[in-house]
Amino acid sequence: MSAAGTLDQMADYLTDGFWQDFGTTARSFDTSQSNVITVNISGLTAEGQRLALNAMEAWESVANIDFQVTTGAGQITFDDENSGAYTNFATSGNVTVAAFINIDDNWNGGQTSSDSYTQQTYFHELGHALGLGHQGNYNGNATYGVDETFSNDSWQLSLMSYFNQQQNTTVNASGAYTLSPMMVDIIAIQNLYGAPGSGSATAGDTIWGVNSNLDGAIGDLFDFWTDGSNPNIAELPFAFTIYDQGGNDTLNVSNFSQDARIDMRETMFSDVAGLTGNIGIARGTVLENAIAGSGNDLITGNAADNVLRGEDGQDTLRGGSGNDTLYGGNGSDVISGQDGDDRLLGGYGNDTIYGGEGNDELFGSHNNDQLYGGGGADTLTGGTGNDTLSGGAGADSMSGGSGDDTYRVDNSGDQLTEDAEGGHDLVESSISFNLSSYGEHIEDLTLTGSDSINGTGNDAANLITGNAADNVLRGEDGQDTLRGGSGSDTLYGGNGSDVIAGQDGDDRLLGGYGNDSIYGGEGNDELFGSHNNDRLYGGGGADTLTGGGENDIVTGGAGDDTFVFSQGHDADQITDFGVGSDTLLLSGFGFSTEQDALDLATELSGDVVFDFGNGDSLTLLDLQLQDLNGYIFFA
């Protein structure tokens, strides 16, 4: 099989290679003094004249040519009196003096719609008259796999080809008639005549598609897209290439419900209206904007500052390297700004938004969104719903809005804003973080990563969770829950009735003011109830448990535990003193011997009760006095 050609190789073949293979010379009109080429279309029917005018407009839009219709002798003459479709020339060296184009008025069964093979034939034959040959060494008929010069020879790249998109087995594209010169044709015709001037149809702000401002065959197609009817459109499969010279330009396919894949990069193809590979972007063409339809669409931007709109459906939008604005619209969309300083808006639906590099603005808007800032100093706004906001690298600003939001913090320069009625919110931080820096409106904090970092609560009822390293967690005011994780942590409950869990590791746990519940978990932990009526649970390991003031209930759990009772600790209970494994440490009472302490103890209903006076008492449940011999120590 032949090899694939580059766009330039294939364009050179149209202007030179074909004529050499055909045994003749390359040719084109001499437009060095004037770009005007006169054309006589008097020999055509009214429909034929319309198709010829469409063809002239199409070639004018991509080359520095000005066709002028005349009723006298023209440099190009159209007629329809003979059968078939062909072009003859009168040349002088490499200069075309005159060209005669015949297209039978019953060509293609007399079909004359602007999206028909007949219209494509007018484009094709006028291309010949201007100096383009076929895309391969064939004329009249050809078989793919036998006659092609380039393996990628098809209508997808050139309307001068003899192979439709389906006949070429290497092309991933739907079979469709072309409504414009294609990528290779545009390069070839500009090699002969140059690019169109500043007054061309696409020099300004051009709309390709719905609500278009273009004329000709492609204008008829776009009118049909807009209004759903056009007498010149037969609703046949279509293909075209966008060549645009300047301005702020838009591809609008918003009236289609089929899933679309729109690629705005030059020389790339898009899938629109249920077809594959049917819209190309010419080399050097820059489109700024794209509007998708109601399907589940994919839009890929280019290096310009794009505005991309997904509209309805579950869309994926990728901005490219410019400073882009992306609107997801309705549906659960995936929006990626990529490079540049982008503005990304989710719209309705559960959207996922990635800022990428640059200083981006991300707006979740409605529903439950996930926002990832990426590199740069980003601004993330969750809106309504339960959102996740992750600033990424850089000093980011994050505002969750209403709903139960999650903030992911990794930079000391990150700033959070949360409203008073903003729901129940969580910070996941890989650096030390203080919730009180943001008032009382963020409730929970989870430390992430592997570094030894610290977390501090605020006046709300906080849930603070450590990571696997050695953390210091402080609940501060409010009824807090602190969970240390697997490191050797220090947890301070602060004011309020707190729940404190050391979990794994050798932890130091302090309740503070309030009726606290303290759980050591695994490891050799230190538990301090401090003030008020606390409950202490040592868990596994050799723990040290100190109830503190007021009336505490203390359980050592598994392991060789030490229970500390000091003067002024009021009335405490030890629920599981283990004879032979646990130790009782009495502090501040001035005892000289173990018997001094035992003299203050009695057995009552199967328990041992110490009465130290001044309101201090200690009850050891399910124990006899004799069991304590040798297990009481003093400090």
Q: Is the CB of residue 309 less than 8 Å from the CB of residue 288?
A: no
What local confidence, expressed as pLDDT, does residue 122 receive? 99
Residue ending a domain, among 370, 389, 417, is: 417
| Residue 531: band (very low, low, confident or very high) from pLDDT cuts 50, 70, 90 | confident
Residue 201: how many CB atoms within 10 A of its CB?
A: 21
Q: What six digits make up the tokens of 357? A: 């590099």
The answer to whether 164 and 278 have CB atoms below 8 angstroms apart is no
> Does 486 reside within a domain?
no
Q: What is the mean pLDDT of residues 616-629?
A: 95
Q: Which amino acid is located at 141 in the chain?
A: N
Which spans in 278-435 are helix H? none
Residues 99-105 have a mean pLDDT of 98
pLDDT greater than 80 at residue 106: yes
Domain-embedded: residue 442: no
Checking phi first, is residue 348 left (phi over 0); if not, alpha (psi -120 to 50) or beta? beta
Using CA atoms, how far residue 314 sits from 210, 296, 310, 355, 372, in Å, is 21, 5, 8, 18, 18
Cβ atoms within 10 Å of 591's Cβ, excluding its own: 19
Structural domain ending residue among the three candidates 417, 439, 459: 417
Report whether 315 contacts 331 (CB < 8 A).
Answer: yes
User: Could you give the percent of the chain with pLDDT greater than 90?
Assistant: 96
Same domain, 316 and 179: no
Are 341 and 408 in a shared domain? yes
Q: Which residues is 554 bridged to in the sheet?
A: 536, 574
DSSP annotation of 107 reads: G
* Confidence class for position 110, pLDDT limits 50, 70, 90: very high
Among positive and negative, which fits the CA dihedral 116, 117, 123, 126?
A: negative
Q: Is 353 helix (H, G, I), strand (E, B) or coil?
A: strand
Q: Is the pLDDT of residue 1 over 80?
A: no
Whether residue 80 is predicted with pLDDT greater than 80 in this model: the reply is yes
Q: Is residue 494 part of a domain?
A: no
Same domain, residue pair 280 and 321: no
SS3 437: helix
Average pLDDT of 88-113?
97
Which amino acid is it at 107?
A: W
Of the residues 364, 388, 417, which one is the last residue of a structural domain?
Answer: 417
For residues 133 and 145, what is the distance between their CA atoms, to the nearest angstrom? 20
My answer on whether 351 and 274 are in the same domain is no
159 and 53 within one domain: yes
What CATH number does residue 152 fall under? 3.40.390.10
Asked whether residue 37 falls in the same domain as residue 133, the answer is: yes
Say whether both 333 and 274 belong to one domain: no
Q: Are 280 and 334 contained in the same domain?
A: no
Is 534 inside any structural domain?
no
Look up the pTM and report it: 0.91
Domain range for 217 is: 1-250+268-286
As given in the structure block, the two tokens for residue 73 are 């002798």
Tens of pLDDT, residue by residue over 337-387, are: 999 999 999 999 999 999 999 999 999 988 999 999 999 999 999 999 999
DSSP letter at 25?
-
What is the per-residue pLDDT for 315? 98
Note the pLDDT of residue 200: 87
Dihedral sign, Cα of residue 589, residue 595, residue 601, residue 607: positive
Per-residue pLDDT at 593 exceeds 90: yes
Domains held by the chain: number: 2
Are the CB atoms for 269 and 287 separated by under 8 Å? Answer: no
What's the pLDDT score for residue 336?
A: 98
- Claim to verify: residue 73 and residue 184 sit in the same structural domain: yes
Does 490 fall in a domain? no
The Cα 276–Cα 261 span in angstroms is: 9
Q: Which helix (DSSP H) or strand (DSSP E) does residue 190 occupy? A: helix 183-193
Largest CA distance in the chain: 135
Is 259 inside any structural domain?
A: no
CA torsion sign, 587 to 593 to 596 to 601? positive
Same domain (yes/no): 243, 364: no
pLDDT at 429: 98
What's the DSSP call for residue 155? Answer: T
Spatial separation of the C-alpha atoms in residues 398 and 622, rounded to whole Å: 56
Check residue 564 and give its pLDDT.
98
Give the number of other Cβ atoms within 10 Å of residue 602's Cβ: 12
pLDDT band at 127 (very low <50, low <70, confident <90, very high): very high
Find residue 409's DSSP bridge partners.
Answer: 429
Integer CA distances (angstroms), 603 to 26, 281, 595, 598, 622, in order:
120, 94, 15, 11, 10
Query: Model confidence over 299-348: pLDDT tens digits?
Result: 999 999 999 999 999 999 999 999 999 999 999 999 999 999 999 999 99
Instruction: Give pLDDT, residue 49.
Output: 98
**Confidence (pLDDT) at 421:** 79
Whether 222 maps to a domain, the answer reads: yes
Task: State the average pLDDT for the chain.
Answer: 97
Q: Cα angle vertex 246, ends 240, 251, to 5°?
A: 40
For 480-496, how does the pLDDT look when each residue is reduced to its tens digit (9 = 90+)?
A: 999 999 999 999 999 99
Which tens digits make up the pLDDT trace of 539-584? 999 999 999 999 999 999 999 999 999 999 999 999 999 999 999 9
Amino acid 110 reads G
Q: Residues with Cβ < 8 Å from 140, sequence gap 6 or more?
A: none
Q: Which of 477, 515, 522 is nearest to 501 (CA)?
A: 522
Q: Are residues 302 and 346 in the same domain?
A: yes
Among all residues, which ones are annotated catalytic? 125
Whether residue 415 is predicted with pLDDT greater than 80 in this model: the reply is yes
Domain contains 100: yes
**E strand spans, 284-396:** 289-291, 298-300, 307-309, 316-318, 325-327, 334-336, 343-345, 352-354, 361-363, 370-372, 379-381, 388-390
CB 333 within 8 A of CB 317: yes
Same domain, 328 and 273: no
